[in-house]
Amino acid sequence: MANYYNENTILYLNGAFVKASEAKMDLYSQSLHYGYSVFEGIRSYKTVNGQTKIFKAVEHYNRLKVSAEALNLPYTYLTNKLIEATYELLKRNGFQDAYIRPVVYAPANMSFSINTESFIVIEAWEMAPFLGDKLIRVMTSSFERPNPKGFKIHAKAAGHYVNSILASQEAKSNGFDEALLMDMNGHVAEAPGANVFYEKDGKLFTPSLGNILPGITRATVLELCNELNIPVEEKIIQKQEMYSADAAFFCGTAAEIIGLQSLDDKTFGLPWEKSLSKLIQDSYKSLVVENKQVLVNEIAGVE
Ligand code: PMP
């Protein structure tokens, strides 16, 4: 298993900076027993002029709030304060290229009743930017994404990730790199921890919102398509369409933009290097290390 912290690592816990090795949480927490917590996956990058930038910090902390509220978890944290704390956390740990993991969790509560308080921890560990030179082999999962009528699927809730873990483990034990999950109607949904796009005849396609996590990288790709004048459409997607695609990629904060080599061993029409998807990958890579620093005081007032 990876080493996420050592004796010197600092984390942020309910307003204080404490040593990760000494931090405590309640083992009677409703979150541990029922997977009832919400979290974020954020990345910071060392930018072109050497400064540290948290990519889309406001969007991520706003989604954390949306996720908590979707699950009826009390949420009293302010986005600008959390961003400030995250920059401080990176500084205290000496991190620039890092993965940041805030978790909002519940108190001790074995019943299913609504809580009157919640807690927050922000952890971070170093993560080098991904070079994107590898293409991945993907299989269609035998697991479907959770039915949005059974879960708040737009929330980044810990419990949903049992589905992701099962799908990813299944793909790996079948010799693939990752899984692609369908939704309850058998349409293309997303990867265990990333959204999906495919490219056909100079246009990009991605599943509409409704049965997927609304990814911040997905939204960024839509913005990049706009800027680069690449036509893009959100729609219901059949798996057969993906089989006849020219290229396809997964996108997410951790995955960044990662090209698919094949889906169920079927390869795509274009070499990755010649695809528009590769152009999106390159543009994303430049975007995250740009020094468009959003200063915390500029977003003061954002909740
Ligand atoms: N779908 C799922 C299920 C995920 O876990 C993630 C990662 N958070 C994504 C999509 C991509 O979201 P984002 O681009 O906001 O990281």
At 28, which CATH number?
Answer: 3.30.470.10
Atom of ligand 1 nearest to the CA of 63: 15
Domain end residue (candidates: 127, 154, 184): 127
Q: Band of the pLDDT at 295, cuts 50, 70, 90?
A: low
| Whether 141 and 117 share a structural domain | no
Beta strands in the chain, from DSSP E residues, in sequence order: 10-13, 16-19, 37-39, 42-46, 52-54, 98-105, 119-126, 136-144, 178-182, 188-190, 195-200, 203-207, 232-235, 247-252, 256-263, 266-267
Question: Is the Cα torsion angle 266, 268, 273, 279 positive or negative in sign?
Answer: negative
| Whether 143 and 123 share a structural domain | no
| Whether 161 and 219 share a structural domain | yes
pLDDT digit string (tens) for 150-201? 999 999 999 999 999 999 999 999 999 999 999 999 999 999 999 999 999 9
| Whether 241 and 97 share a structural domain | no
| Whether 270 and 147 share a structural domain | yes
- Specify if 300 maps to a domain: no
Mutation test residue for ligand 1: of 67, 253, 257, the one with most atoms within 8 Å of CB: 253
Q: How many domains does the chain have?
A: 2
For residue 293, pLDDT over 70 is answered with no
Task: Print the domain residue range for 117.
Answer: 10-127
| Predicted structure pTM score | 0.95
pLDDT, position 152:
97
- Specify if 296 maps to a domain: no
| Whether 195 and 273 share a structural domain | yes
Domain end residue (candidates: 92, 108, 127): 127
Candidates 53, 56, 65, 156; catalytic one: 156
- Specify if 278 maps to a domain: yes
Distance from residue 194's CA to the centre of ligand 1 (Å): 4
Q: Band of the pLDDT at 59, cuts 50, 70, 90?
A: very high
**Which amino acids bring their CB within 6 angstroms of ligand 1?**
41, 164, 190, 193-195, 213, 215-218, 252-253
Atom of ligand 1 nearest to the CA of 254: 16
| Whether 157 and 277 share a structural domain | yes
Based on the residue annotation, tell me whether 156 is a catalytic residue of this protein. yes
| Whether 166 and 276 share a structural domain | yes
Atom of ligand 1 nearest to the CA of 59: 15
| Whether 145 and 273 share a structural domain | yes
